[in-house]
Amino acid sequence: MSGIEDTFRAAAQAHNAGRLGEAQTLYRQILAADPGHVEALHQLGLLAYQAARPDVAETLFQRAIGLDGSNPVFHSNLGLVLQAQGKLDQAVEAYQRGLALRSGDYVALFNLGGALLQQGDLDEAEKAFRKSLALKPDLDGAWVNLGYALRHQGRLDEAVTAYEKAVALNPNLPDAHYNLGSTLLDQNRLKEAAAAFRRTIALKPDFVQAHINLGNVLLNQGKPAEAEAVYRRALALQPELANARDNITMGLNYRSDLTPEAVFEAHRHWGARYPAPPAPPARDRDPDRRLKVGYVSGDFRHHAVASFLEPLLKAHDRTAVEVFCYAETPHPDAVTDRLKALADHWLFTVGMSDPDVAARIAADRIDILIDLAGYTEHNRLPVFALKPAPVQATWLGYPNTTGIRAIDYRLVDPITDPAGADAFATEKLVRMQEGFLCYAPPADVPEPAPSPHLAGGFVTFGSFNNPSKLSDAALPVWAAVLAAVPGSKLLLKGRAFEDAESRALFEAAFAAHGVTADRLILRPIIREPAGHLAAYADIDIGLDPFPYNGTTTTFEAVSMGVPVITLSGRSHAGRVGASLLTRLGLADLVAEDANQYIEIAARLAADSARLAQLRGTLRPLLLASPLCDAPAFARRFEGALRTMWKRYCEGQAPAAFEIES
């Protein structure tokens, strides 16, 4: 026996010294002589785990437990290898068996919390981490994971405290700084978030997602060019990183310093990275049969896209179309439930690979597949590149071409995309004469309030668009509007204004154009929809940003009786305002250049009678317009789909066409 113990000591010395092959040989010699040597089995299991062979380690730990089930370490280590294999239920049970034998094992509690996090059991994970920290308060990783559990329960202040404790214990822990920054970003504390991401990058320059989130902060602060530079650093680190590429592409729409040609070329460049699309799957080429139509989006939730998709889904003629929804929606909500009830078929695609999603779409025999996201968050453009449906289109969720050859059509209108715009799209443009979208106001929309200048004695201009849309081109024009209307003020509401540094940045930018801080009203976002809409009571006249106009914000302003002034730009993103206002009979509020924009604003601000008249008539005007006539819009939309389908049935290539009223 003494020989075996000598061999075990030699094996342990080799193991501790990192001579793993030697240690393994010695442990196996021991087991050859004594198959019941439980500690040799355990140590071989640890070696297998270190060698990334958790399946082998599992077998060895199970054998050790069979010989000595009273050893808590064996159970805890079994949990570790089960967790590594994704066997989370079994891992949790193993950790709990070990803790039943030794409740004060802070490592086992930490690992149990990690497995519970992976299961999505945030409450129990929190309890495990807190127990671990009660035993070992300086366990920095437990503070990080506790912060994660708290953040994803929406307890952001507590999460920040946990991450700050981790950072205090270990200032050189990149994950702690990154998670702190992400939580501060959730709270719109942009200056602090940026500092945390920069610290993360200083500690770990190749931390790609820290670069992405820093870019997101800069974009929210109205710095699209700086954001693009950061996104490009992320892309240099990981050339196939989809969200870096998507964020760069999306950010182009905010840039006032780029020509339409340059923006199009960038989209075409990204789209060309996908290989040529395969031959489309064959379908029954009956031009008049019921069509299987698939909608793909990450925004089947409380989001602007839902305000335009929901009325279409409600009004679809189910004898003409069968609706399939493919939801890349990681956090469903009550709106998700409503949309799901309106679909004939529904699939959550979160976690599915692009080939698997494409295979499911092909198996569903979708005839026309419609992208609702473009380069926005949670898109599935790579699925479209695989051409799982014979006809593919993009609509609604993105104000530009995708550049992807496998997408055949893009639904627009003659104002957003007039003659000549075809040169800036890889898709064929389908122009819907009465407008490319249809809006449904929320059910709890409050009644419009009187124009605030009547009580305040001064005109308040305003915009509730994301401050990232306040471009270098729009800012001096808005400053000139304030100069042209003495005593007027500008109310801006957005995520950036919850952060003192961002407010100071915008105040400084306006100050450079002669606007003092007392003429600016900067408010944080209001998350409750009715409260957000009620805030329009404080605005007399809405200002539409450019070169990237608002869409939902313009509909909301008009529904609350607030007229909006827009500048008709050079691209779809900059012509949506013109499209909406023209269809409301308010073309006199559409400017062709900056000087006219200022003139319109000054003229309307001086016309108190018209402001009062618009306050009471804009909502009825909107509701009676084609922009809110869901059944008529659905028939036109279905007509567009049918024309696409007939061209396919006839063997014709996709081509641009128009849909009349």
Q: pLDDT of 312-325, one tens digit each?
A: 999 999 999 999 99
Where exactly are the structural domains of the chain? 2-187+198-209, 188-197+210-273, 291-432, 453-628
Determine the topology of domain 188-197+210-273 in CATH. 1.25.40
pLDDT of residue 254: 92
Residue type present at position 412: V
Phi, psi of 653 (to 5 degrees): -70, 155
Report percent pLDDT > 90 for the chain: 88
CA distance linking residue 39 with residue 67, whole number of Å: 10
The DSSP call for residue 489 is E
Residue 634: pLDDT band with limits 50, 70, 90: very high
pLDDT of residue 3: 83
For residue 643, give every residue at least 6 positions away whose Cβ sits within 8 Å of its Cβ, in sequence order, or none. 430, 657, 659
CA distance linking residue 442 with residue 631, whole number of Å: 17
| Nearest CA among 385, 424, 397 for reference residue 272 | 385
340: left (phi over 0), alpha (psi -120 to 50) or beta: alpha
Q: How many other β-carbons are positioned within 10 Å of the β-carbon of residue 57? A: 26
> What integer is the mean pLDDT of 332-348?
97
> What integer is the mean pLDDT of 262-287?
93
Judged by DSSP in three states, 276 sits in: coil
DSSP string computed for 410-474: EEE-TTTS-TTGGGG-SSEEEEETT-S------TTPPPPPPPTHHHHSS-EEEE-S-GGG--TTH
Determine the topology of domain 2-187+198-209 in CATH. 1.25.40
Whole-angstrom CA distances from 463 to 362, 564, 582 are 43, 9, 20
Residue 271: pLDDT band with limits 50, 70, 90: very high
> What integer is the mean pLDDT of 603-608?
98
Query: Is residue 434 predicted with pLDDT exceeding 60?
Result: yes
What pTM does this model have?
Answer: 0.85
Distance between alpha carbon 627 and the CA centroid of its chain, in Å?
A: 27
Residue 157: pLDDT band with limits 50, 70, 90: very high
Whole-angstrom CA distances from 277 to 295, 388, 395, 654, 655 are 19, 10, 20, 14, 18
Query: Is residue 280 predicted with pLDDT exceeding 90?
Result: no
Element holding 346 (H helix, E strand): strand 345-348
> What integer is the mean pLDDT of 210-228?
91
CB-based contact 465:545 (threshold 8 Å): yes
**For every residue of 179-216, which 3-state class applies, written as one string?**
HHHHHHHHCCCHHHHHHHHHHHHHHCCCCHHHHHHHHH
| Nearest CA among 85, 155, 88, 153 for reference residue 116 | 88
Chain length of the chain: 661
CB-based contact 131:112 (threshold 8 Å): no
pLDDT of residue 95: 96
Q: pLDDT of 500-513, one tens digit each?
A: 888 998 999 999 99
pLDDT of residue 443: 84
Peptide bond into 547 cis (omega under 30): yes
CA distance linking residue 418 with residue 426, whole number of Å: 15
CB-based contact 340:308 (threshold 8 Å): no
Q: Which letter, b or e, does each residue of 551-580 get, where b requires 16 or more Cβ atoms within 10 Å of its Cβ? A: bbbbbbbbbbbbbbbbbbbebbbbbbbbbb
Q: pLDDT of 366-378, one tens digit each?
A: 999 999 999 999 9
Domains 2-187+198-209 and 188-197+210-273 alike in fold? yes
pLDDT of residue 100: 96
pLDDT of residue 225: 87
For residue 433, give every residue at least 6 positions away whose Cβ sits within 8 Å of its Cβ, in sequence order, or none. 413, 414, 658, 659, 660, 661
Mean pLDDT of the chain: 95
H helix runs in 512-593, sequence order: 529-534, 552-559, 576-583
CA distance linking residue 517 with residue 484, whole number of Å: 17
CA distance linking residue 302 with residue 213, whole number of Å: 22
> What integer is the mean pLDDT of 517-522?
98
CB-based contact 656:422 (threshold 8 Å): yes
CA atoms within 13 A on the CB side of 317: 16
pLDDT of residue 224: 85
Query: Is residue 176 predicted with pLDDT exceeding 70?
Result: yes
CA distance linking residue 574 with residue 588, whole number of Å: 17
CA distance linking residue 247 with residue 375, whole number of Å: 7
Query: Is residue 383 predicted with pLDDT exceeding 80?
Result: yes
CB-based contact 361:388 (threshold 8 Å): yes
Q: pLDDT of 538-596, one tens digit each?
A: 999 999 999 999 999 999 999 999 999 999 999 999 999 999 999 999 999 999 999 99
pLDDT of residue 11: 85
Determine the topology of domain 453-628 in CATH. Rossmann fold (3.40.50)
CATH architecture of 291-432: 3-Layer(aba) Sandwich (3.40)
Q: pLDDT of 84-140, one tens digit each?
A: 999 999 999 999 999 999 999 999 999 999 999 999 999 999 999 999 999 999 999
pLDDT of residue 305: 95
For residue 240, give every residue at least 6 positions away whose Cβ sits within 8 Å of its Cβ, in sequence order, or none. none
